[in-house]
Amino acid sequence: MTTAAITPFPPGFLWGGATAANQLEGAYDADGKGLSIQDVAPQGIEGPRTPAPTPDNLKLVGIDFYHRYEQDIALFAEMGFKVLRLSIAWSRIFPHGDDAIPNAKGLAFYDRVFDACARHGIAPLVTLSHYETPLHLAEQYNGWVSRDLIGFYERYVRVLFDRYGSKVKFWLTFNEINSVLHAPFLSGAISTPKDQLSLSDLYQAVHHELVASALATRIAHEMIPDAKVGCMILAMPIYPLTPHPADVLAAMQADHLNLMFGDVHARGCYPGYALRYFREHGITLDITDEDRECLTNTVDFVSFSYYMSVCETADPGSQRTAETNILGGKNNPTLKASEWGWQIDPAGLRIVCNQFWDRWGKPLFVVENGLGAKDRLVEVDGVRTVLDDARIAYLNDHLVALGEAITDGVQVLGYTAWGCIDLVSFTTAQMSKRYGFIYVDRNDDGTGTLERYKKKSFDWYAEVIATNGASLRREGLRTTASCLSS
Ligand code: BGP
């Protein structure tokens, strides 16, 4: 008699991977697609914008998923994916964002992608807006600062729900919606340079996105009764740098700036600490009664990305600035970091899961997590591969922590590993910052064959999925590989 392997992951747990259109599709001007804000940001969030697309922008070609999706989805299926997170490029559907009629060829492309997913039994999890707003909306309207964007977004999502409602049951409204506070152009399509942008304009953009998100939730529920809609938040636990109460308070207040987004999505109104923040920072917002009513359309689940934690301190002289995924913070002296300086903290995932569940009581979905690292293609027994033990260790430890959160009683719907196939980095726009189970032969200078190769982590993840997490190694934390620095 065999005993079933022990796993904290519930039956039907949605294992899979996550991607975004602008980072993998390429074909930036094919079949009627308009320009998106990413097409003029060749160096990621810190670099300058270019007046027009330039050949050094790796996203213009991406990994050519636009032409290779069949093969890539077949590889995901080989790993046993139950779900694939991908986004729809808004400018493929509405090339300028404010067009009256959608682009038929853009719509047909995603039909082909969703049909390929269906053939492999993979459920799509679709992000409506993932850092790829049509450029025209940035240039003509100043992005989400303008209330007009709510109407354009509504037109866009109605078209998508109508067209794909029978094929897509999981929807996310905005990727990492809280990142607009730190990356106004790439997150909120706001053309005003960050240093000239007033807090009132910034939070007005936030408000418009929050209303648009609630509106999309309401419309999805009306048009696709069996759909589940989630918000998507950049989650980054903020620990006090010391046990000093002033540091604990500083950490709480920094956390509030992020938690506000989940509070509005899950509770349907602005929390008191946000109203105080607006008052004390001279932020005046145009919030109508209709907006307030709209915000009461709360999400079905809360999804988030998780890569790292940071610290906060009340000490204005603290020099411990951390390299982070967009949001700021201070370095934690107890943690190691990736090659890009992102601090590795598996326990933080358990902490954030508990915090969100306790706070909102909504099911969670981990829709991004992974290790960005340099990979080296080698030959083993005549087969080209990557021996990515550091990535396996990172993912193992985070999944063990997620299992602990589930054992704590947190309801988690699924987990999609970020960049399940190598794609162009968001923050640095490099190819060399790789996350995938599948290596793509493309380099930072744009050279490469675009051929795909399975990494060691490919078989490892396939086994995790096949055993519903029972194959994970719980003994000791393994994130100690040589590529990590202290
Ligand atoms: C998140 C974004 C993703 C993704 C990821 C990793 O902020 O939602 O688009 O790219 O970060 O970041 P990077 O690609 O810069 O390593």
Distances (CA, A) of 156 to 98, 102, 145, 303: 9, 8, 18, 22
- Is the CB of 325 within 6 Å of ligand 1? yes
Closest atom of ligand 1 to 340 CA is 16
- Going by the DSSP 8-state scheme, the letter that residue 88 receives in this structure is -
Determine how many CB atoms are found less than 10 A away from the CB of residue 224: 18
Residue whose CA lies nearest to ligand 1 atom number 10: 426
Contact 164, 76 (CB under 8 A): no
- Is the CB of 461 within 6 Å of ligand 1? no
- Is the CB of 20 within 6 Å of ligand 1? yes
Determine how many CB atoms are found less than 10 A away from the CB of residue 216: 27
pLDDT at 318: 82
The encoded tokens of residue 195 equal 């240093």
Torsions phi, psi for 380 (to 5 deg):
-125, 120
The encoded tokens of residue 142 equal 């100043």
pLDDT at 481: 41
Alpha carbon of 326 to ligand 1 centroid (Å)? 9
The most distant pair of C-alpha atoms in the chain lies apart, rounded to whole Å, by: 69
Contact 473, 385 (CB under 8 A): no
Alpha helices in 325-415 (DSSP H): 346-360, 389-407
DSSP assignment of 321-346 equals BPP-SSS--B--TT--B-TT-PBP-H
Positive or negative, the CA dihedral 270, 273, 276, 277 is: negative
Closest atom of ligand 1 to 342 CA is 16
The encoded tokens of residue 87 equal 């986004």
pLDDT at 477: 54
The encoded tokens of residue 297 equal 């359309």
- Structural domain count of the chain: 1
pLDDT at 480: 44
Contact 437, 449 (CB under 8 A): no
The encoded tokens of residue 196 equal 């000239």
- Is the CB of 175 within 6 Å of ligand 1? yes
Contact 265, 297 (CB under 8 A): no
pTM confidence score: 0.96
- Is the CB of 372 within 6 Å of ligand 1? yes
Closest atom of ligand 1 to 433 CA is 16
pLDDT at 268: 98
Determine how many CB atoms are found less than 10 A away from the CB of residue 71: 12
Alpha carbon of 368 to ligand 1 centroid (Å)? 8
Active site residues: 176, 368
Residue whose CA lies nearest to ligand 1 atom number 9: 426
End-to-end CA distance of the chain: give it in Å, rounded.
47
Mean pLDDT split into 10-residue runs, the chain, 486 residues: 74 98 98 98 93 97 98 98 98 98 98 98 98 98 98 98 98 98 96 96 98 98 98 97 97 97 98 98 98 98 97 87 79 94 96 98 98 98 97 97 98 98 98 98 98 98 98 72 43
Determine how many CB atoms are found less than 10 A away from the CB of residue 441: 16
Alpha carbon of 400 to ligand 1 centroid (Å)? 22
Torsions phi, psi for 232 (to 5 deg):
-135, 125
Q: Please name the residues in contact with 176: beta carbons below 8 A apart, sequence gap of 6 or more.
A: 131, 187, 232, 233, 234, 305, 326
- Is the CB of 418 within 6 Å of ligand 1? yes
Residue whose CA lies nearest to ligand 1 atom number 2: 426
What's the CATH number where 55 sits? 3.20.20.80
Domain that holds residue 400: 3-483
pLDDT at 316: 86
C-alpha span between 82 and 135 (Å, rounded): 33
- Is the CB of 303 within 6 Å of ligand 1? no
Positive or negative, the CA dihedral 84, 89, 90, 94 is: negative
Determine how many CB atoms are found less than 10 A away from the CB of residue 405: 23
Alpha carbon of 413 to ligand 1 centroid (Å)? 21
Amino acid letter, 224: I
pLDDT at 321: 80
C-alpha span between 75 and 381 (Å, rounded): 21
pLDDT at 1: 43
C-alpha span between 175 and 245 (Å, rounded): 33
Alpha carbon of 387 to ligand 1 centroid (Å)? 22
pLDDT at 292: 98
The encoded tokens of residue 112 equal 């082909």
Mutate to test the pocket of ligand 1, among 130, 304, 427 (most ligand atoms within 8 A of CB): 427
